[in-house]
Amino acid sequence: MNIHFVGTGGAFDYDFGNAAALVEFQGQHILVDCGPSIYSELCRTGYAALVDGILITHLHGDHVGSLFTLILHLNRRLTPARKAVILCPSAAFRDHLKEFLAFSLLDPLKYVDFISLQNTPWIGSIDTTNRHECGLSSFAYYFTDGDELIYFSGDIASADVCAAFLETRCEAKITVFHDVHYERVPTHVYYHDLAQQLAGRDVYGYHVDPRRMPPESAIPLVAEHPEFLLRSRNS
C-alpha cells in the first residue's frame, strides 16, 4: 500500500495544487478528492485512466472542482470507456454527491457507479460532519494493509477526532496525513494544536502553502517530502 499526493495546497495555493491523494493497494488506485487542479495533474502524470475508485471528503469546491471532468474522461476518453466509481461512506452522502453531480452531468447514474464503501474492507471512513464547517457533511478516511494504517483527515478544525480514533487501533505502522493551518481559523487545525493532539504520531501536514510555515513548526509537510508526491509515470 502506498499514498502519493496529487496536490498538497489549500483552495488558493495554486503553486501546489489542491489537496488530493492517490492510494494504491493491490493494483487498485483510489483517488481521494478531486479539486480544480487534480484532473489536469492526473493527465499530466499519466494516472487519469488508472483511477479505479474515488473518495470525496466533502463538497467544497477545492475538493470536487474537477470531479465531473474526471468522470467524463473515464466515460468518454478511454477505450474501452468505463463508468467512474465513487465509494460512498454513507447513503446520505451518496445522495448528496448525486445531487451535486446532477448540476454538471444531469443524470449522474449514466456516468457513475455509486458503491457503498462497506464493500471495500481495506478502506474505512470517519464521519466528521460539522467539524470542518457547521452544516457541512465531511469524512476522514483510513486505509489498512496488515500492520499498516494510513489516515487521511480531509478538512477538519481539530485533530481530536484523529487522536481518539487512533487510540482504538493497534497497527504497528500508522502514518497520518492531516490538514494544517498557520493562523487560528474555525475550519482548519492550528499547527500548534495539531502537534499537541497528535504528539508521538507520524504526522505530515497538507492543505497549506509550505512557504508560510513558521520556523518553529514541528509538523513536517507532505509538500517537502518527495516520497509522498505523485510523479509522472514515465519519469
Residues at the interface with Zn ion (CB under 5 A) = 60, 155
Closest CB 5 distance from Zn ion, rounded Å: 16
When the beta carbons of 13 and 155 are compared against Zn ion, the nearer one is: 155
With beta carbons less than 8 A apart as the criterion, state whether 46 and 232 touch.
Answer: yes
The minimum distance between CB 138 and Zn ion, in angstroms, equals 7
Least distance to Zn ion from the beta carbon of 178, Å? 14
Degrees, nearest 5: CA angle 32-38-39? 110
- The residues facing 114 across adjacent strands are 86
**In contact, 59 and 35? CB cutoff 8 Å:** no
**Other CB atoms within 10 A of residue 102 CB:** 12
User: Which one, 48 or 126, has the nearer CB to Zn ion?
Assistant: 126
The secondary element (H helix, E strand) that includes residue 7 is strand 2-7
CB of 132 to Zn ion, least distance (A): 6
Is 73 or 131 the residue whose CB approaches Zn ion more closely?
131
Between 116 and 130, whose beta carbon lies closer to Zn ion?
A: 130
34 close to 25: Cβ distance less than 8 angstroms: no
Q: Give the three-class secondary structure for 23.
A: strand
